[in-house]
Amino acid sequence: MSLGAIRRARRMKLEPDRCFDCGDCVSVCPVDAIRLQAGAISVDQERCVECGVCWRTGVCPTSVFEPEDLPWPRLLRALFSDPATEHRRTRLAGRGMEEIKTNDVRRRYVGDWVGVAAEVGRPGVGASFRDVQCVTQAFAEGGARFVADNPLMELIVDPARGRLDPTILDERVLSVIVEGLVPVVALEPTLRALVEACSRLSAPVLLSVAGGHDIDGSMSYRPVLAAMAFTCLPTGKMNLGFMA
Ligand code: SF4
Ligand code: SF4
């Protein structure tokens, strides 16, 4: 079953006849999709990620922005960009998963397993699912297992190759977190595959790792990071930096 069959979301419909060109709405859009040119308001539908901010903030005094039902696969834009929507799989809003930094209490990554997360896209830039697929393919190439309770799992049709549903690749969102479970022995090839994949993207990608401490306080994956010249901190989660 696709997400499209089970979820509904709303997109912005314009009522341009109500616009009196005040320009107040232009700056609220996190991806610069709202344009006011020659006295006419318009939304660049390719850039719009259906975050709902222009409507929910009530910035427009004459309610030019109105929500309407979104079709599949466009509703994915709202599911991953509108914090007021909830993912069916995880019952969490926004990007639909707990952040990797909660590992200290979740204990998902312990011993010889390391968590690797890639946040693809940021406000102001966004990302397409084609960008996300470059990252999921790198995870698969490196030998990572995708984390099951991530809403992205419903969109990965070939986990062994990291391939997403081909019908969604042109959809754009603010950001998606890809999270994988990696044995320490596969950490270096996974990170190298990710760094190479990210170098081909225009979307920014923030890489992070998380793991547990051994009983003596050491971290089994720390030498791998040090050998790759990443800064190592004595924390459960480390941001390795933006890769694009
Ligand atoms: S829904 Fe979000 S991205 Fe789309 S025009 Fe409104 S503020 Fe911009
Ligand atoms: S806030 Fe409303 S009235 Fe003002 S430019 Fe935007 S759409 Fe037009």
Condensed to tens digits (0 to 9), the pLDDT of residues 185-205 reads: 999 999 999 999 999 998 999
Band of residue 46 on the pLDDT scale cut at 50, 70, 90:
very high
Lowest-pLDDT choice from 31-40, 74-83, 230-239: 230-239
Q: Is the CB of 173 under 6 A from ligand 1?
A: no
Say yes or no to pLDDT of 217 above 70.
no
Residue 153, C-beta contacts closer than 8 angstroms, at least 6 positions apart: 89, 146, 147
The DSSP code for 56 is: H
CA atoms of 200 and 135, how far apart (whole Å):
10
| Helices within the chain (DSSP H only) | 3-6, 53-56, 75-81, 103-106, 129-142, 187-198, 222-227
Report which ligand 1 atom has the smallest distance to the Cα of 55: 6
Kindly state the average pLDDT of the residues 135-161.
92
The DSSP code for 71 is: P
What sign does the CA torsion over 143, 148, 150, 155 have? positive
Q: Is the CB of 41 under 6 A from ligand 2?
A: yes
Lowest-pLDDT choice from 107-111, 129-133, 208-212: 107-111
Domains of the chain: 3-81 (3.30.70.20), 100-242 (3.30.70.1710)
Q: Residues of 137-152 as b/e, b for ≥16 C-beta within 10 angstroms?
A: bbbbbbebebbeebbb
> Which pLDDT value is given to residue 8?
42
For residue 28, which ligand has an atom nearest its CA? 1
Say yes or no to pLDDT of 102 above 90.
no
Mean pLDDT across the chain: 83
CA 81 / ligand 1 centre spacing (Å): 10
For residue 39, which ligand has an atom nearest its CA? 2
- 172, 46 Cβ separation under 8 angstroms: yes
> Which pLDDT value is given to residue 15?
72
Q: Is 159 helix (H, G, I), strand (E, B) or coil?
A: coil
> Which pLDDT value is given to residue 136?
97
